[in-house]
Every structure is written in structure tokens, then in C-alpha cells.
Amino acid sequence: MPDTAEVVATVRENFGPEFVTARLAAEERTRAFLDEHAGTMDAERIIALGRLINEHGKLGRVRYDRFTPGFTGAIMSKLGSDPGTFNTMTTRLWREPVEDAVATLGGIYADRSTFPHAGSSLPSFLLYLRDPERFGICVNATMLGLAHETGAHYQAKSLSGYESFSADLRAWRHRHGVAPQEADAILTAIMRAAKPAAVAVEKLPLTVGIEGVAEGCFLGVEQVDQWVQALTTGMRQGVFHGPPGTGKTHVARLLARHLATSPDHIELTQFHPAYSYEDFIEGLRPETSGGGLRYEVRPGVFARLCDRAAKAPDETFVMIIDEMNRADLAAVFGELLYLLEYRGAEVTLPYSQRRLAVPSNVFLLGTMNTADRSLAMLDFALRRRFNAFPLPPDETVLARWTTGRPDGNAELALGVFRLIRDRVGPDAPVSPGHSYWMTEALDAAAAERIWEYQLRPYLAEYWFEQPAELSRLDTDVRSLIAELA
């Protein structure tokens, strides 16, 4: 990643020459608002305060997204539902002598129920406004960025933790000549630049052991071993089924790397409504020759793999069928239903009239999205020829993924995942999976984008008759993300 000086220069260039002055002016307007209304705010003024906190400037334009999604509508509306508590706590943080206000913040961090929905950012922002040189703002991305710079670990769970964060932030600012008003943007950029690159399946060793599959999928070794035993001692085909975001394709690709004797022996295809027997087994294809048109029999992708496997009986080959249930499976598979059950038997293909068998050294792995179609709806003759490997939304997988990552990532990822899972129902075929939240350098802004552009539209399609339920979940998800910001 670029060094700190380069990140500082880039952020300043992106925000423009009025970066700090625009934020200073916005903060001064926030102080004036608090001086006038602290202790007497109703729900409307609480929302107005959030808008002021988020005000800043970028390239000469006024913007209201400095701490987005923190201090936005959802979280401020939650705070406005109990104006009595909000006014009591903000008055103490804003008007008490500074050392008393610091002690108040420590009490809030030790027991969040004293200031519900305020999270860690609002109390610290009020102290920051009182003395920007001394106090830091506890935003998750800022703390993660500073942790990358210092090697320390920051949590807004106690007064001592907050004072340690503020002290290290002051030292870092002075070392790099960073003003208090620009620290949050620069440290967020450092956090994002420092995210480790995801390891692609293609970058793995040529062969992957069971332990490697389990580690790469954040699953237990016992679970992977059971799948391998089912495939190697019985039917040599299996289908991974579950809702979107449970890692079905990733698991299938990694397991294929374990089963196949070479990455070159793995074939992947994706089914769709127009996918046919002619694509998969064999069919007639038009050819032009000498100005004329003729039809030629061509083998499909699976028939070609079987031919390769028959010529190399000591090697192992794997076919992966992604989105398996999106095609008319009975029509696509044809004689394959018989050949999968009776390995080594032969049938005569209708176009070429040649004999085809499925060698015993061929494995077939499919993935199936249960939000599209239930496994029970598949043709029974097809279903009984495949091991069914369920992949439900799994908190344990997500928790394993967060191990070794900053606590802010873990708290945010697990918190939002649990909220959505519990509201939709853990056993619902449309319950979004854990992999949506397995995003490096997950901060509140990234979490809100995942919710806004991926999960909310997806759930809206399935809850079109329950708009009020989706609206409540939308408010709660955004509030939780802002709280954990």
C-alpha cells in the first residue's frame, strides 16, 4: 500500500483546498446549534443535529456525508424516539465541566444502555467539538486506520480505551501534520488501502488437501471430510444447495481442487433457461463449407470431459455445474440420468450414434440457489442421483472469517448478519447468507452499500406483500450500522 504521506496528499487533493476550512465552519455551526438547543431538542431537531454533524465540503461543494451512515436519518430517528434520554445525556456531555463530561463518556462506553442507539461516535463527537486538539472521534474506520498505523488495538468500551485512542491519535496527527478536522477522512483512506487482497481459487496450490478446503471455506474439517467420503464411497455427484450468499460456488470450486488430480481436469459451466442437451451432451451445429451449409455433430461440454477421463483412467476429473436448477434438468441430462447411476455402462447417443459412458474417475458437483427453486421441486429421478449438501446461512463460518481481523469488522459483520437472519428466519429459503459480509476492510459505509444495493432489493422482491416489514427491517439495519460506525 502507499505510505502515509502519499495517502495524506491524495485525500487532500480529492477534497480540495477548502478541506479543513469547510469542516471548521460546519463544526462551528454545530456548536452554535448545541449551545442554543442542548437539553430541549425534539425529534425534528435531533435529526437536524445529525445533518449538521455530517456537513462538510468537497471540491467546493457542500456535502452531508462526512460520517455516513453515522448521524443519518435512521439512527437519529431512533435517538429521537426517546428525546428525554437524548437531551439528558447530550446536555451532560456538552455542558458539564470537561473532566466530568469525560467521565460521563466513560460510563456510556462501559454501559451502552445508559445512552441507547448513540453508539460510540456521538458521545465522542460531542467531546471532540469541545476540544478537537485533545479528543478523537470513535468511528470504526478511523480506529481501524489508526490501528494499522500504530499496531495498537482500539475499542470504545471503556474510558481508558478512549483515552488511549485519543492520545495515539494526537501523536499520529502531530507526526504527520494532520489537522483534527481531516484525520477521520485520512485514516479511513488508510484503512481501505491497507485491506489484504482476497486469495483467488486460482492462486491456491495445484492440489488442495481437506484441511486446505476447510480453511479456504472457513468450515470444519469434519464437514469437508464427510462430503469427500460421501462422494468417494457412493454416488460421485453432489449438489450444494442454499440461499444466496452462502458460498456454494466457492465451496464447489475448492472441493474440486481437492478431488481433481490437476486444475486442468476441472470444467465449469453455468446452466440457464436456454441451456440444452445439445450444449451438455451432444447436438447438431451448422457449418459453412465451400459456400454451402451443412450440420455437424458436436460433443457437448460434459461428453468431452468424459472422453478425456476415459483416456486417463488414473487421473480424476470434475465437472462443476453452477446455478444447476436454472435449466430444464431432465431435458439437459437426458441419458445421463442412467449413466450417473450405472457408472461404466454405455448408451447410444441419438445424434452421433456413438457409445458414451461416464467413467468412474469423473465427479460432478452442482450448486443450486434455493431462493430460485426448492430442492424438493427437482425431478425425483434426478434428485436421488445426487448427494444433497446443504449450505445454510452460517454464523460460525462468518465468525471464523473474522478471526484475526479487527474487532470492528467482526462486530459489524456479525451484528448485521444476525439482525437480518433473525428477522427473515434462519430456515427461510431466501435468508441471505454470510458471505455478503465477508468483505475485507468492512466499514459502516461499505455495510450500508451492501444493504442498500444488494440485500434490500433482493428482500423487496420476496417481501413484496410485506412492505411494512421490510421498512422496519430497513430502519433497524441502518440504525445498527450507524451505531457500530
Cα dihedral sign, 35-38-39-44: positive
In Å, how far from its chain's centre is CA 123?
Answer: 29
Burial category of 476 from C-beta neighbours within 10 Å (exposed 0-12, middle 13-18, buried 19 and up):
middle
Which ranges constitute the DSSP H helices of 16-120? Answer: 19-37, 43-53, 73-80, 83-95, 98-110
Question: Which positions ≥6 away from 381 have C-beta within 8 Å?
Answer: 330, 337
Interhelix angle 183-193/140-150, nearest 10 degrees: 70
Question: Which positions ≥6 away from 466 have C-beta within 8 Å?
Answer: none
Residues of the chain with CATH 3.40.50.300: 235-390
Query: pLDDT tens digits for 10-67?
Result: 999 999 999 999 999 999 999 999 999 999 999 999 999 999 999 999 999 999 999 9
Residue with cell 445525556: 89
Give the residue among 107, 119, 108 at the shortest CA–CA distance from 78: 119
Alpha carbon distance 473, 318 (integer Å):
42
- pLDDT for the residue 365: 97
- pLDDT for the residue 202: 56
CA atoms within 13 A on the CB side of 205: 10
3-state secondary structure of 387: strand
Alpha carbon distance 398, 417 (integer Å):
9
Parts of the chain with a pLDDT under 50: none
Q: How many residues does the chain have?
A: 485
Residue with cell 471532540: 128
In Å, how far from its chain's centre is CA 288?
Answer: 48
3-state secondary structure of 406: coil
**Cell digits for 353?**
450414434
Strands 56-58 and 266-270: unpaired
CB atoms within 10 A of CB 211: 12
Query: pLDDT tens digits for 157-202?
Result: 899 999 999 999 999 999 999 999 999 999 999 988 876 555 555 5
Find out whether 128 and 136 touch, Cβ atoms under 8 Å: yes
Strands 355-356 and 266-270: unpaired
- pLDDT for the residue 375: 54
Output the pTM of the full model. Answer: 0.80
Alpha carbon distance 182, 467 (integer Å):
40
Give the residue among 205, 120, 133, 197 at the shortest CA–CA distance from 162: 120
CA atoms within 13 A on the CB side of 202: 1
Alpha carbon distance 83, 118 (integer Å):
12
3-state secondary structure of 6: helix
Helix (H) or strand (E) holding 398, with range, is helix 395-402
**Cell digits for 234?**
457412493
CATH architecture classification, 235-390: 3-Layer(aba) Sandwich (3.40)
- pLDDT for the residue 344: 85
Strands 317-322 and 292-299: unpaired
Query: pLDDT tens digits for 350-380?
Result: 999 999 999 999 999 999 988 766 555 566 7
